[in-house]
Structure formats: C-alpha cells, structure tokens
Amino acid sequence: MTSASQRPDGPARTSAPSPVTRLIATDLDGTLLRDDKSVSERTVAALAAAEQAGIEVFFVTGRPARWMDVVSAHVHGHGLAICANGAAVVDLHDDGRIIEVRPLARTTALSVVRALREAAPGTSFAVEMTTGIHYEPDYPPFFQDPGATVATAEKLLREEPGTAAAPVIKLLAHHAELSPDAFLELARSVAGGYASITRSSPTALLEISGPGVSKASTLAMCCAERGISPEEVVAFGDMPNDVEMLTWAGTSYAMGNAHPDVLAAASGRTVANNEDGVAVVIERILDERARQQDTQQQDDRAQQ
C-alpha cells in the first residue's frame, strides 16, 4: 500500500512509486456531494476526465437505488453503482435497475429487531426492500413515501406462506435519545453477531445489512470480476459506513469533514466535500499520470 499525503498538496509519506490507479470508489453524501446535495462543475469535470483516462468510477453509497438521481446525470462509462452499503449493485444507465442483491434474511432482521427492542427501548424501525421502504408508525418522517406500508417491523418482516416476498436490502433503526456513536456501539454489542451494523447519518440512525455485507465486500467482488486489485483502487469516504472500504482500498482518503473513525482508517486526507476534496485528488492523480507518460515518451525517444 502506498501512503497518501495528509494534505492534497503536501509531500508523500514514502518515495515508493504509486501503483497505477484503475478504479476510483467514492461515497456520495458528505464526500462527492456538497452539503446542498449538488455535484460541483469541478467534480463533474474530474469524474469525466478520470473515465476518459481509462479509470473506472464507482459510486459506493448507503443510499438505495431510488435515491441515485443526484448523480445519474454524471455517469459515464460502465454506469454501475454500489448502493445500500453493498446490498445492491445497480445500473445507472438503466434507470437504476438493480442487477444484484445481497439480501438481509427476514429471520435475521427479526433477530436484530428483538435484540434492539430489549437493549434500547424506544427504537423504531424501517425496512428497505427492493420494492421500496416501509416503516413503523413511530419512525421519524425523514421523507414521505406514498407507497410505503406503515406497520410494526415484525409485521413488515413476516413471510406469508406461499408468497414470494421482496428481498430485504437493509433494516433501519432509529433512536430519539441515544447519541449516534453510542447507539452504534450498543447495537453492535447486542446484535452484531446477526448482521452488519453501521451508520452514515448524523442522527442516531443505524443501517443493518446481511452478515458480511459492506461497501468493501461488494466493491471487492466487483473489482475481482474486473481483475482489479485493492492496490489499484483509490477510495473516498467520510462516515463509519466507509471504514471497511477505506481500509480495503490500496489508497484511501478521508474527507476534511470526516468522522474520527474514518480519519483513523484512511491512508490519507483531502479537503472537505464543500471544497471538492474528491476532485482535488483526482486532478492530482491525472496530473501525475500525465507526467509519467511524458517521462516515458522522453525515455523511449532517447533510446531510439
């Protein structure tokens, strides 16, 4: 692994040559997107330049496929995205069609619900399925979905005999009084043996996926299919749900606005999302590649 600089314009920690970047994996909220959920012109240009240079770009997010409209206009090349913290791979060229699902078993989700109800009374739940989201009456109204079913988690997760229930992508758990990190620590202690539990929200909202499902594990699977090694991946993130991905990637950057766990996990640091931290690093990668190509061409001419 090649360590990255602590600042985008700072000196490298090592003089070892950087591996060739073949894939950029970036989180969205708090990372690629500005706080107003826009993608800056500078970032759009950097993403297009990366793919023009032959570098694949993967959006890797906790968002469900139906919330990918914020970047769908900026997709080039392959157009694949990893959504729901690794539980779904979607084709953004095909209106966000889900092409692969790593589901959370309903029996497993029910075990998590029981554990959290006992350990943290007052927890409310929502269930994200391939067909949309459904939630309990006390779950906070983060948004209104007219197609949602409102019922207890136990009812939402019940499998009716003889019916083909939609796959569960993730379980969401919210607590109105616990701090976000305290809720995450508690949930992992009482239910971490059942499922993967993480968070990306500034509130006490947990995201629960099937065992072993994470941004990192699905990204690793997609890279293996393309013959891309971890050392050839540059990753960006800002919240705890990015930690595994940042640890897995050969080179990784925590945003200037990142959670302390992310700062500790990443090999380097860039500026904040509102300062186009992802674009800053991509531009530097492309500049370095151009210099290396120029040097190689000069060497080739000198040998002729």
Query: pLDDT by residue (tens digit) across 117-161?
Result: 999 999 999 999 998 999 999 999 877 677 889 999 999 999 765
Half-sphere exposure of 148 (CA within 13 A, CB side): 19
CA–CA separation, 191 vs 108, rounded Å?
Answer: 10
Does some domain include residue 288?
Answer: yes
Of all residues in the chain, the percent with pLDDT exceeding 70 is 88
- Of 183, 209, 235, which one is at a domain's C-terminal end? 209
Please give the backbone phi and psi of residue 180, each rounded to the nearest 5 degrees, phi first: -55, -50
Question: 246: domain range?
Answer: 23-102+214-299
CA–CA separation, 272 vs 285, rounded Å?
Answer: 18
Same domain flag for 145 and 278: no
Using DSSP bridges, classify how beta strands 124-129 and 132-135 pair: parallel, antiparallel or unpaired.
antiparallel
Lowest mean pLDDT among 54-68, 239-253, 268-282: 54-68
Does some domain include residue 15?
Answer: no
Answer yes or no: is pLDDT of 291 > 70: yes
pTM of the complete model: 0.88
Lowest mean pLDDT among 65-69, 134-138, 181-185, 203-207: 65-69
Same domain flag for 94 and 112: no
Same domain flag for 177 and 204: yes
Does some domain include residue 9?
Answer: no
Q: What is the pLDDT of residue 144?
A: 67
Does some domain include residue 232?
Answer: yes
Answer yes or no: is pLDDT of 191 > 80: yes
Q: What is the pLDDT of residue 139?
A: 95
Same domain flag for 222 and 276: yes
Same domain flag for 197 and 223: no
The total number of structural domains in the chain stands at 2
> Does residue 98 sit in helix, strand or coil?
strand
Does some domain include residue 5?
Answer: no
CB-based burial of residue 81 (10 Å sphere; 0-12 exposed, 13-18 middle, 19+ buried)? buried
Average pLDDT over residues 46-55: 93
